[in-house]
């Protein structure tokens, strides 16, 4: 399937090319078929970038318009995927009908809709509620300004959440404050979804990816070195499972987050080092150990969409296959939270992509890597996980006196 955007080129009765308020169309081609869908956007001819197939940045309202075009392209891809799995004929008529059912209402962009959310609901809010929502609006604006990719509904996924949490931590927010802030964001997203402006549901996983402030584990979840080696050597003929195994282990050996792994380009993997480019423009370099280098070499001569260093996958896919492999390997070490009376669960059932950074930190501390170096590699200064792991290690060391 291929999607393209184009502006209407039509002449008036005098034969002159019309240039004002020209409609933009999306063309979807598949299997020798073509479907033309109106975007609802009109733009002057001089505001259209034909090469990039988007509205020029300087054109009024360009960011909202371009976000809408990205959403349309994304929905077209989801429509094709759903149609292929439905068993129905891949015809232009079926594609158009399903697309019309899946697409959201036009909103003019994330922040325009957020402002509408405040305007339409503020008469029913207390002053405290209005200030809380207004603060969130300003915080998201600030995050958007320093981000390499503007906020839009189809990008509100696990990677967004991780980047947003890191942004809030750098501003000095406590974990409980961040949790409440995300809770308010989900409130807005539920409103947008109910109104038909948002059709993306990844944000509903945010709560599963965060621990409530009073439910945080005393020690972050991690793999012991032996458990990590078991996973590294896990045999499989399933290509997707193989990729999950390799990419998760690469994160464990390099101290990378899932969002950072997904952003890595071929040129970011230098000889012996990994260049991590932050959303705010910062750069850090992580030397590669032997284990990380072996995985990098396995993928260095393979090429993926957008020249990424590794194949892309969703965090949901990674978590799913991690747990399947963990169960098969017998990773049954019981994990308990700090909640009194809560039953423990075997390790494999709690495995997620986020376990990788914790695994790196835990094993680095046990190998006596200085805390300053660990913090520099992981990119988070004063990381509370480092302090908690060191505290646990100190307790274990003192137990050596219990002869």
Highest mean pLDDT among 12-16, 103-107, 265-269: 265-269
Q: For residue 143, what are its two tokens?
A: 């995050």
Under 8 Å CB-to-CB from 95, ≥6 apart: which residues? 28, 30, 33, 35, 79, 80, 83
Name the token pair of 129: 């509620």
Is the dihedral angle over the CA atoms 395, 387, 249, 157 positive or is it negative? positive
Helix or strand run (H / E) with residue 290: helix 290-299
- Tokens 């495995």 found at: 351
Q: How confident is the model at residue 291 (pLDDT cuts 50, 70, 90)?
A: very high
Confidence band of 146 (pLDDT split at 50, 70, 90): confident
Put simply, whether the predicted model's pTM sits higher than 0.85 gets the answer no
Q: What pLDDT, on a 0 to 100 scale, did the predictor assign at position 256? A: 92
Neighbours of 156 (CB within 10 A): 21
**Percentage of residues in the chain with pLDDT exceeding 90?**
30
Tokens for 95, please give them.
């594609």
- Which among 261, 262, 260, 254 has a CA at the least distance from the CA of 359? 254
Q: How confident is the model at residue 400, as a pLDDT? A: 45
Place of tokens 């194949």: 311
Delimit the domains of the chain by residue range: 2-102, 110-211, 225-401
Among 1.10.443.10, 3.30.200.20, 2.120.10.30, 1.20.1050.10, name the CATH number for the domain at 225-401. Answer: 1.10.443.10
Instruction: Give the model confidence (pLDDT) of 379-397 as tens digits.
Output: 765 556 666 665 555 555 4
pLDDT in tens, 352-375: 999 999 999 899 888 888 888 888
Helices (H) and strands (E) counted in the chain, each on its own, are: 15, 10
Question: Which range, of 131-135, 205-209, 362-366, averages the lowest pLDDT?
Answer: 205-209
- Tens-digit pLDDT profile for residues 221-268: 899 999 999 999 999 999 999 999 999 999 999 999 998 999 899 999
pLDDT band at 105 (very low <50, low <70, confident <90, very high): confident
- Residue 385 to residues 197, 365, 391, 397, Cα–Cα distance (Å): 38, 11, 10, 18
And the tokens for 98?
A: 């399903």
**Residue 258 and residue 133: Cα distance in Å, rounded?**
29
pLDDT at position 393 is 54
Beta-strand pair 269-270/273-277: antiparallel
């Amino acid at each position: 399937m291929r999607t393209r955007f184009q502006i209407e080129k039509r002449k008036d009765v005098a034969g002159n090319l019309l240039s004002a308020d020209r409609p933009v169309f999306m063309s979807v081609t598949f299997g020798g078929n073509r479907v033309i869908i109106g975007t609802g956007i009109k733009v002057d001819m001089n505001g259209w970038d034909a090469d990039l197939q988007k509205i020029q940045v300087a054109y009024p309202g360009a960011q909202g318009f371009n976000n809408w075009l990205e959403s349309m392209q994304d929905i077209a891809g989801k429509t094709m995927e759903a149609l292929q799995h439905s068993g129905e004929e891949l015809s232009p008529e079926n594609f158009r009908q399903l697309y019309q059912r899946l697409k959201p209402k036009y909103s003019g962009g994330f922040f325009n809709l957020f402002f509408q959310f405040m305007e339409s609901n503020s008469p029913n809010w207390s002053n405290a509620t209005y200030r809380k929502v207004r603060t969130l609006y300003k915080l998201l604006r600030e995050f958007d300004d320093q981000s390499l990719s503007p906020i839009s509904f189809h990008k509100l996924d696990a990677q967004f959440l991780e980047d947003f949490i890191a942004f809030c931590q750098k501003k000095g927010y406590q974990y409980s404050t961040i949790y409440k802030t995300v809770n308010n964001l989900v409130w807005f997203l539920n409103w947008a979804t109910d109104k038909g402006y948002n059709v993306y549901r990844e944000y509903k996983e945010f709560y599963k990816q965060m621990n409530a402030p009073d439910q945080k584990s005393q020690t972050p979840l991690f793999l012991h070195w032996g458990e990590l080696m078991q996973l590294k050597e896990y045999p499989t003929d399933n290509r997707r499972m193989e990729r999950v195994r390799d990419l998760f282990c690469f994160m464990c050996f390099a101290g990378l987050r899932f969002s950072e792994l997904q952003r890595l380009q071929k040129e970011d993997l230098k000889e012996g080092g990994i260049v991590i480019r932050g959303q705010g423009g910062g750069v850090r370099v992580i030397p590669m150990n032997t284990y990380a280098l072996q995985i990098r070499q396995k993928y260095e001569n393979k090429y993926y969409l957008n020249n990424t260093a590794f194949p892309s996958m969703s965090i949901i896919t990674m978590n799913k296959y991690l747990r399947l492999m963990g169960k098969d390997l017998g990773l049954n070490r019981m994990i308990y939270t700090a909640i009194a009376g809560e039953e423990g669960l075997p390790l494999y059932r709690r495995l997620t992509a986020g376990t990788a950074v914790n695994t790196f930190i835990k094993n680095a501390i046990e190998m006596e890597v200085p805390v300053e170096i660990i913090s520099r590699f992981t990119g988070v200064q004063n990381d509370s996980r480092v302090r908690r792991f060191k505290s646990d290690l100190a307790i274990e060391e003192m137990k050596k006196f219990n002869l």
